[in-house]
Protein backbone atom coordinates (compact mmCIF):
# COMPACT_ATOMS: atom_id res chain seq x y z
CA UNK A 1 0.00 0.00 0.00
CA UNK A 2 1.45 3.35 -1.03
CA UNK A 3 2.01 5.78 1.85
CA UNK A 4 0.45 9.18 1.23
CA UNK A 5 0.20 12.27 3.37
CA UNK A 6 -1.79 11.46 6.51
CA UNK A 7 -5.30 12.62 7.23
CA UNK A 8 -7.16 12.25 10.52
CA UNK A 9 -10.87 12.91 10.41
CA UNK A 10 -12.01 14.72 13.56
CA UNK A 11 -15.68 14.13 14.45
CA UNK A 12 -17.58 16.27 16.95
CA UNK A 13 -19.65 13.61 18.75
CA UNK A 14 -23.15 15.01 19.35
CA UNK A 15 -21.57 18.38 18.58
CA UNK A 16 -18.96 18.00 21.34
CA UNK A 17 -21.17 16.99 24.25
CA UNK A 18 -18.54 17.35 27.01
CA UNK A 19 -16.84 20.55 25.91
CA UNK A 20 -16.77 22.80 29.02
CA UNK A 21 -18.95 25.37 27.25
CA UNK A 22 -21.52 22.81 26.10
CA UNK A 23 -22.33 20.59 29.08
CA UNK A 24 -26.01 19.68 28.91
CA UNK A 25 -26.32 20.85 25.28
CA UNK A 26 -25.64 17.68 23.28
CA UNK A 27 -27.13 17.46 19.78
CA UNK A 28 -28.29 21.09 19.79
CA UNK A 29 -27.91 23.59 16.98
CA UNK A 30 -25.70 25.60 19.33
CA UNK A 31 -23.38 22.63 19.95
CA UNK A 32 -22.95 21.99 16.22
CA UNK A 33 -22.31 25.70 15.55
CA UNK A 34 -19.68 25.64 18.30
CA UNK A 35 -17.91 22.66 16.69
CA UNK A 36 -17.95 24.25 13.24
CA UNK A 37 -16.56 27.48 14.73
CA UNK A 38 -13.67 25.42 16.14
CA UNK A 39 -12.97 24.20 12.61
CA UNK A 40 -14.68 20.80 12.64
CA UNK A 41 -15.89 19.65 9.23
CA UNK A 42 -17.33 16.33 10.47
CA UNK A 43 -20.24 16.22 12.91
CA UNK A 44 -21.73 13.11 14.53
CA UNK A 45 -25.37 12.82 15.51
CA UNK A 46 -28.23 10.34 16.01
CA UNK A 47 -31.70 10.25 14.51
CA UNK A 48 -35.21 9.32 15.63
CA UNK A 49 -38.56 9.89 13.89
CA UNK A 50 -41.65 11.53 15.35
CA UNK A 51 -45.10 10.00 15.02
CA UNK A 52 -45.79 12.29 12.05
CA UNK A 53 -42.53 11.47 10.26
CA UNK A 54 -40.14 14.29 11.17
CA UNK A 55 -36.50 13.21 11.48
CA UNK A 56 -34.85 14.61 14.62
CA UNK A 57 -31.21 14.84 15.69
CA UNK A 58 -31.51 13.21 19.12
CA UNK A 59 -29.78 10.31 20.85
CA UNK A 60 -32.34 8.73 23.17
CA UNK A 61 -35.67 7.15 22.29
CA UNK A 62 -37.27 9.29 25.01
CA UNK A 63 -36.90 13.01 25.67
CA UNK A 64 -36.64 12.61 29.45
CA UNK A 65 -32.85 12.54 30.05
CA UNK A 66 -31.84 15.84 28.47
CA UNK A 67 -35.05 17.85 28.06
CA UNK A 68 -37.80 19.25 30.26
CA UNK A 69 -40.45 17.11 28.52
CA UNK A 70 -41.18 13.41 29.02
CA UNK A 71 -42.21 10.89 26.40
CA UNK A 72 -41.10 8.64 23.57
CA UNK A 73 -40.29 10.49 20.35
CA UNK A 74 -41.98 7.80 18.24
CA UNK A 75 -45.26 8.44 20.08
CA UNK A 76 -45.15 12.24 19.82
CA UNK A 77 -45.88 14.68 17.02
CA UNK A 78 -43.24 17.16 15.95
CA UNK A 79 -45.37 19.96 17.44
CA UNK A 80 -45.19 18.24 20.82
CA UNK A 81 -41.42 17.78 20.56
CA UNK A 82 -40.99 21.46 19.68
CA UNK A 83 -42.08 22.34 23.21
CA UNK A 84 -39.10 20.47 24.68
CA UNK A 85 -35.97 22.36 25.75
CA UNK A 86 -32.48 20.90 26.10
CA UNK A 87 -30.65 22.53 28.99
CA UNK A 88 -33.69 24.70 29.61
CA UNK A 89 -33.42 26.78 26.43
CA UNK A 90 -32.38 24.85 23.31
CA UNK A 91 -34.82 23.17 20.95
CA UNK A 92 -34.42 19.71 19.41
CA UNK A 93 -33.15 20.26 15.84
CA UNK A 94 -34.44 18.43 12.81
CA UNK A 95 -31.98 16.92 10.35
CA UNK A 96 -33.45 19.14 7.64
CA UNK A 97 -32.50 22.17 9.74
CA UNK A 98 -28.97 20.85 10.27
CA UNK A 99 -28.45 20.17 6.56
CA UNK A 100 -29.62 23.72 5.77
CA UNK A 101 -27.45 25.30 8.47
CA UNK A 102 -24.26 23.38 7.61
CA UNK A 103 -24.32 22.59 3.87
CA UNK A 104 -20.56 21.99 3.63
CA UNK A 105 -20.25 19.72 6.67
CA UNK A 106 -20.11 15.92 6.55
CA UNK A 107 -22.54 14.31 8.99
CA UNK A 108 -22.03 10.93 10.57
CA UNK A 109 -25.57 9.72 11.33
CA UNK A 110 -26.53 6.84 13.62
CA UNK A 111 -29.92 5.29 12.88
CA UNK A 112 -31.46 4.90 16.34
CA UNK A 113 -34.93 3.68 15.38
CA UNK A 114 -36.46 1.44 12.73
CA UNK A 115 -38.37 4.26 11.07
CA UNK A 116 -35.24 6.37 10.74
CA UNK A 117 -33.85 4.42 7.77
CA UNK A 118 -36.67 5.33 5.38
CA UNK A 119 -37.05 8.86 6.74
CA UNK A 120 -33.34 9.60 6.30
CA UNK A 121 -33.18 8.06 2.83
CA UNK A 122 -36.09 10.25 1.74
CA UNK A 123 -34.62 13.41 3.28
CA UNK A 124 -31.20 12.85 1.71
CA UNK A 125 -32.74 12.42 -1.73
CA UNK A 126 -34.90 15.52 -1.29
CA UNK A 127 -32.07 17.76 -0.07
CA UNK A 128 -29.26 16.48 -2.29
CA UNK A 129 -27.15 15.51 0.73
CA UNK A 130 -26.51 11.89 -0.25
CA UNK A 131 -22.79 12.60 -0.74
CA UNK A 132 -22.43 14.58 2.51
CA UNK A 133 -23.13 11.83 5.05
CA UNK A 134 -21.93 8.48 6.29
CA UNK A 135 -24.62 6.39 7.95
CA UNK A 136 -24.31 3.63 10.53
CA UNK A 137 -26.33 1.66 13.05
CA UNK A 138 -25.92 -0.92 15.78
CA UNK A 139 -28.83 -2.69 14.08
CA UNK A 140 -27.86 -4.82 11.10
CA UNK A 141 -31.50 -4.80 10.02
CA UNK A 142 -31.70 -1.00 9.91
CA UNK A 143 -28.50 -0.51 7.95
CA UNK A 144 -29.50 -3.27 5.52
CA UNK A 145 -32.81 -1.48 4.91
CA UNK A 146 -31.06 1.87 4.47
CA UNK A 147 -28.64 0.39 1.94
CA UNK A 148 -31.54 -1.16 0.04
CA UNK A 149 -33.39 2.15 -0.11
CA UNK A 150 -30.39 4.20 -1.20
CA UNK A 151 -29.03 1.60 -3.65
CA UNK A 152 -25.37 2.26 -2.86
CA UNK A 153 -25.57 6.04 -3.33
CA UNK A 154 -24.82 6.81 0.32
CA UNK A 155 -21.74 5.83 2.29
CA UNK A 156 -22.36 3.50 5.23
CA UNK A 157 -20.27 2.06 8.03
CA UNK A 158 -19.92 -1.62 8.85
CA UNK A 159 -22.71 -3.29 10.78
CA UNK A 160 -21.88 -5.46 13.83
CA UNK A 161 -21.59 -8.67 11.78
CA UNK A 162 -19.25 -7.01 9.28
CA UNK A 163 -17.10 -5.64 12.10
CA UNK A 164 -16.91 -9.06 13.74
CA UNK A 165 -15.63 -10.60 10.51
CA UNK A 166 -12.67 -8.20 10.47
CA UNK A 167 -12.04 -8.62 14.21
CA UNK A 168 -11.86 -12.42 14.03
CA UNK A 169 -10.53 -13.21 10.55
CA UNK A 170 -6.77 -13.87 10.33
CA UNK A 171 -6.40 -12.24 6.90
CA UNK A 172 -7.99 -9.49 4.82
CA UNK A 173 -9.11 -11.93 2.14
CA UNK A 174 -11.00 -14.10 4.62
CA UNK A 175 -12.51 -11.03 6.28
CA UNK A 176 -13.75 -9.69 2.95
CA UNK A 177 -15.33 -13.01 2.05
CA UNK A 178 -17.09 -13.21 5.41
CA UNK A 179 -18.25 -9.59 5.53
CA UNK A 180 -18.86 -8.67 1.91
CA UNK A 181 -18.02 -5.18 0.67
CA UNK A 182 -21.13 -3.03 0.94
CA UNK A 183 -19.72 -0.65 3.55
CA UNK A 184 -17.22 2.21 3.32
CA UNK A 185 -15.70 2.50 6.81
CA UNK A 186 -15.48 0.97 10.25
CA UNK A 187 -16.88 3.15 13.02
CA UNK A 188 -16.11 1.26 16.17
CA UNK A 189 -15.28 1.57 19.87
CA UNK A 190 -11.68 1.14 20.99
CA UNK A 191 -12.81 -1.67 23.30
CA UNK A 192 -16.11 -3.52 23.65
CA UNK A 193 -17.18 -4.76 27.07
CA UNK A 194 -18.39 -8.36 26.98
CA UNK A 195 -19.20 -9.43 30.54
CA UNK A 196 -18.37 -7.59 33.75
CA UNK A 197 -14.77 -6.34 33.52
CA UNK A 198 -14.05 -8.50 30.46
CA UNK A 199 -13.55 -6.47 27.27
CA UNK A 200 -12.16 -7.12 23.81
CA UNK A 201 -10.04 -4.67 21.82
CA UNK A 202 -11.97 -3.87 18.66
CA UNK A 203 -9.70 -1.19 17.15
CA UNK A 204 -6.63 -3.42 17.12
CA UNK A 205 -3.61 -3.06 14.86
CA UNK A 206 -4.75 -6.18 13.03
CA UNK A 207 -8.21 -4.82 12.30
CA UNK A 208 -6.78 -1.49 11.12
CA UNK A 209 -4.33 -3.29 8.85
CA UNK A 210 -7.03 -5.56 7.40
CA UNK A 211 -9.38 -2.61 6.91
CA UNK A 212 -6.76 -0.58 5.07
CA UNK A 213 -5.89 -3.49 2.80
CA UNK A 214 -9.58 -3.66 1.90
CA UNK A 215 -9.68 0.10 1.21
CA UNK A 216 -11.80 0.90 4.29
CA UNK A 217 -11.16 3.67 6.80
CA UNK A 218 -11.31 3.12 10.58
CA UNK A 219 -12.98 5.73 12.82
CA UNK A 220 -13.00 5.15 16.60
CA UNK A 221 -15.41 6.48 19.22
CA UNK A 222 -15.75 8.11 21.73
CA UNK A 223 -12.20 9.25 22.52
CA UNK A 224 -11.68 12.11 24.99
CA UNK A 225 -8.31 11.23 26.58
CA UNK A 226 -5.10 12.42 24.84
CA UNK A 227 -3.22 9.27 25.87
CA UNK A 228 -5.84 7.11 24.17
CA UNK A 229 -5.82 9.42 21.14
CA UNK A 230 -2.06 8.89 20.90
CA UNK A 231 -2.34 5.10 21.05
CA UNK A 232 -4.95 5.06 18.30
CA UNK A 233 -3.10 7.48 16.03
CA UNK A 234 0.01 5.32 16.40
CA UNK A 235 -2.20 2.41 15.32
CA UNK A 236 -2.95 4.34 12.09
CA UNK A 237 -6.68 4.88 12.59
CA UNK A 238 -8.21 7.36 10.15
CA UNK A 239 -10.66 9.19 12.36
CA UNK A 240 -11.51 9.94 15.99
CA UNK A 241 -14.90 10.88 17.43
CA UNK A 242 -14.85 12.95 20.58
CA UNK A 243 -17.07 14.69 23.11
CA UNK A 244 -14.09 16.94 23.98
CA UNK A 245 -13.71 18.87 20.75
CA UNK A 246 -11.23 21.22 22.39
CA UNK A 247 -8.95 18.37 23.50
CA UNK A 248 -8.95 16.54 20.16
CA UNK A 249 -8.29 19.71 18.17
CA UNK A 250 -5.33 20.63 20.40
CA UNK A 251 -3.97 17.08 20.16
CA UNK A 252 -4.14 16.99 16.36
CA UNK A 253 -2.80 20.52 15.94
CA UNK A 254 0.21 19.70 18.10
CA UNK A 255 1.07 16.82 15.74
CA UNK A 256 0.31 18.63 12.49
CA UNK A 257 -2.69 16.36 11.82
CA UNK A 258 -5.52 18.90 12.12
CA UNK A 259 -5.52 20.17 8.54
CA UNK A 260 -7.49 18.02 6.10
CA UNK A 261 -5.08 16.41 3.64
CA UNK A 262 -5.44 13.38 1.33
CA UNK A 263 -5.95 9.96 2.89
CA UNK A 264 -3.24 7.35 2.56
CA UNK A 265 -5.62 4.41 2.11
CA UNK A 266 -5.54 2.86 -1.36
CA UNK A 267 -8.33 0.52 -2.46
CA UNK A 268 -7.11 -3.02 -3.06
CA UNK A 269 -7.76 -4.99 -6.21
CA UNK A 270 -10.70 -7.27 -5.44
CA UNK A 271 -8.81 -10.11 -7.11
CA UNK A 272 -6.23 -10.10 -4.32
CA UNK A 273 -6.60 -13.24 -2.20
CA UNK A 274 -5.02 -15.15 0.65
CA UNK A 275 -3.79 -17.74 -1.80
CA UNK A 276 -1.50 -15.10 -3.32
CA UNK A 277 0.79 -15.16 -0.34
CA UNK A 278 -1.17 -13.16 2.24
CA UNK A 279 0.02 -13.97 5.74
CA UNK A 280 -2.21 -14.02 8.82
CA UNK A 281 -2.34 -10.55 10.43
CA UNK A 282 -1.98 -9.87 14.12
pLDDT tens-place string over residues 79-93: 999 999 999 999 999
**Model confidence at 276: pLDDT above 60:** no
pTM (two decimals)? 0.89
pLDDT tens-place string over residues 55-72: 999 999 999 999 999 999
Query: What are the phi and psi torsion angles at 220 (to 5°)?
Result: -120, 140
Query: What are the phi and psi torsion angles at 123 (to 5°)?
Result: -65, -40
Secondary structure in 3-state letters for 213-282: HCCCEEEEECCCCHHHHHHHHHCCCCEEEECCHHHHHHHHHHCCCCCCCCCCCCCCCCCCCHHHCCCCCC
pLDDT tens-place string over residues 209-261: 999 999 999 999 999 999 999 999 999 999 999 999 999 999 999 999 996 54
- Look at residues 230, 232, 165, 224 and name the one whose alpha carbon lies nearest to residue 203: 232
Query: What are the phi and psi torsion angles at 277 (to 5°)?
Result: 95, 10
Walk me through the domains of the chain, giving residue ranges and CATH numbers: 9-259 (3.20.20.190)
> Can you point out the beta strands (E) in the chain?
9-13, 42-49, 55-57, 106-111, 133-136, 155-156, 185-189, 191-195, 198-201, 217-221, 239-242
CB 171 within 8 A of CB 280: yes
CB 19 within 8 A of CB 37: no
pLDDT tens-place string over residues 14-24: 999 999 999 99
**Model confidence at 148: pLDDT above 50:** yes
Integer Cα distance of 188 and 258 in angstroms:
21
Amino acid sequence: MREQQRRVRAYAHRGGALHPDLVGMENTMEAFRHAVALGYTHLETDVHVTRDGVLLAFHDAALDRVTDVSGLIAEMTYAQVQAARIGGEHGVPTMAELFAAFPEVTFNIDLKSDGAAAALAELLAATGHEDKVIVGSFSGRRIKEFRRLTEGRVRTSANPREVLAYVLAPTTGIARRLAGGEFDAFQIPHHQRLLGPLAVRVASRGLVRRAHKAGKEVHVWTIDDPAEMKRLIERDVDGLMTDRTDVLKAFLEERGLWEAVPSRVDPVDEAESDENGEEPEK
